[in-house]
Amino acid sequence: MQRVAIVGIGWYGFRPQTKEVSFREMMFEAAVRAYQDAGGINPREEVDTFISCQEDFWEGISIADEFAPDPIGGAMRPTMTVDGDGLQCLTHAIMHINSGLSDVTVVEAHGKPSDILTLPDIVDFAMDPLYVRKVSPNYHFIAGLDATLFMKEFSATQEDLATVVVKNKENGLKNPRASYASKLSVSDVLEKPYVVYPLTELDIAPYVDGAINIVLASEEVARRYTDTPIWIEGASFATDSANLETATLGKALYLKIAADNAYKMAKIESPSKEIKGAFIDDRYSYKELQHLEALSLTKDPVKALREGQLYPDGDIPTNPLGGHLAEGVPLEASGLALLIDAIEYLRQGKESAIVASWRGVPTFTGAVTVLKR
C-alpha cells in the first residue's frame, strides 16, 4: 500500500455520561475539533469521502446510517458506514485514498452506552441464538472461557492479571480521556470477588461515552494540513471462525492474522524491535497479554510483564496512556480511542506504534494499524 497520513484528530466525551449532548451532537463536537486540528480544513469543500463506524443496536435506531453524514460535515456528500470497530473504518479510508477515489477522507466512530438501558441484553443478542445465547446469565462468560485457557497455556496467575489492571489504571492518570484511571494495588484487585472466573469487576473495563473523528490524507496533500503527519504504514482486519465452538480460544487468532498482514504491508520483519509502543485492546486484563502474543511483540507476555517490559519505560511500552481499563470502552469508537492515544504518543516524539483493536464479546474480529512518525 501507499502510506496514508493522519492529519487531524478530534474527540469529545470520554465520560461515564454525556447527557448534555445527543449522539449526533457528540459526533459534531469531535468533528469540529478534528477539522481544527487539521489546519482548519473545511469538510464541506476539502473532504472527498466520509466513513462512519456504527451499529444500529447501539444507537437504538434502525438504519442509523442515515444519521451518519450531517454531524460530520458529510451531508449530500459521499458517506458510507461500516458496521464494525473504528479501526476497520480506518482501513476502508486507506482503500479510498490508495484507490485514487479520494485525497482526503474522514473517519468517525462514537459510542453512547449511557443511553442504552439494557446494554447487556444487546450483547446477548449478538450471540448465536441457537447454541450460545441463552446459556449464561452473564455475557462475560465467553471472556471467562477464553481467559481460563489463556492462563493455563501461558502459566499466568491471578496476580499477573491484577498487575495489568494496576499498570493501566495508573498509566491513565496522565490521560485526560481516562475517566477510570486510579491508583490501585494488586491486592485491591485480588480482593474483589469474581464476576466470572477468573475475572473480577476490576479486570473488566467499564463502558464510556465518546466520539472520535480522524482526518486522513494522501501523501501528496498531507502537508497542506499539518507539519507533523503521522503515517499509516500497514493496516488490516480479520475474523477467526465466528462460531464460539470452532473459534480459537486461549489465543487471539483474529489479531495474529490481521497483524501478519499489516506487518507485511509495513515491511516490518521484527515487530518487537521495530515497534516502540503498543496500544492494544485490554477491555479484559488478560486480553492485553493475549494480544501482545498475537502481535508477535513477545512470545511470553507473562514473562515480559513480570520483567517490567510493558511499563512506559520498558522495552514494549503497552497502553502507556492506560488503554480501555483506564479510558473505558466507547463501543465502536474503541479502536479509534487506542489510535488517538498512539497519535498523541507519536506527536510527543516517539518513532513508531501499533494499534490493535478487538470488537469485544462475542466477536472474534480484530484490526491492526501500524503507525510511524
Which residues contact another protein (rule: CB under 8 A)?
19-21, 25, 28-29, 32-33, 57, 60-62, 117, 120, 123-125, 129-132, 134-141, 144-149, 152, 193-198, 241, 243-246, 249-250
Least distance (Å) between residue 245 CB and another protein = 4
* Coil, strand or helix at 179: coil
* Coil, strand or helix at 36: helix
- The Cα 87–Cα 333 span in angstroms is 8
Least distance (Å) between residue 270 CB and another protein = 31
**Residue closer to another protein (CB basis): 170 or 240:** 240
Q: For residues 159 and 167, is the Cβ–Cβ distance under 8 A?
A: no
CA distances from 81 to 100, 105, 119, 196, 325 (A): 19, 13, 22, 34, 27
**Residue closer to another protein (CB basis): 229 or 360:** 360
Least distance (Å) between residue 160 CB and another protein = 17
In the 8-state DSSP scheme, what is residue 159?
A: H
- The Cα 72–Cα 90 span in angstroms is 16
Least distance (Å) between residue 246 CB and another protein = 5
**Residue closer to another protein (CB basis): 161 or 262:** 161
What ranges make up the beta strands (E) of the chain?
4-15, 49-53, 79-82, 104-111, 194-196, 199-200, 209-218, 230-239, 278-280, 352-358, 365-372
Least distance (Å) between residue 302 CB and another protein = 17
Q: For residues 72 and 27, is the Cβ–Cβ distance under 8 A?
A: yes
**Residue closer to another protein (CB basis): 129 or 308:** 129
**Residue closer to another protein (CB basis): 2 or 17:** 17
Least distance (Å) between residue 130 CB and another protein = 6
Least distance (Å) between residue 123 CB and another protein = 8
**Residue closer to another protein (CB basis): 121 or 351:** 121
**Residue closer to another protein (CB basis): 61 or 173:** 61
**Dihedral (CA of 87, 176, 361, 212) sign:** negative
Q: For residues 194 and 200, is the Cβ–Cβ distance under 8 A?
A: yes
How many other CB atoms are there within 10 angstroms of residue 340's CB atom? 26
Least distance (Å) between residue 325 CB and another protein = 18
Alpha helices by DSSP H, listed for 214-333, are 253-266, 271-274, 285-294, 301-306, 323-327
**Residue closer to another protein (CB basis): 20 or 307:** 20
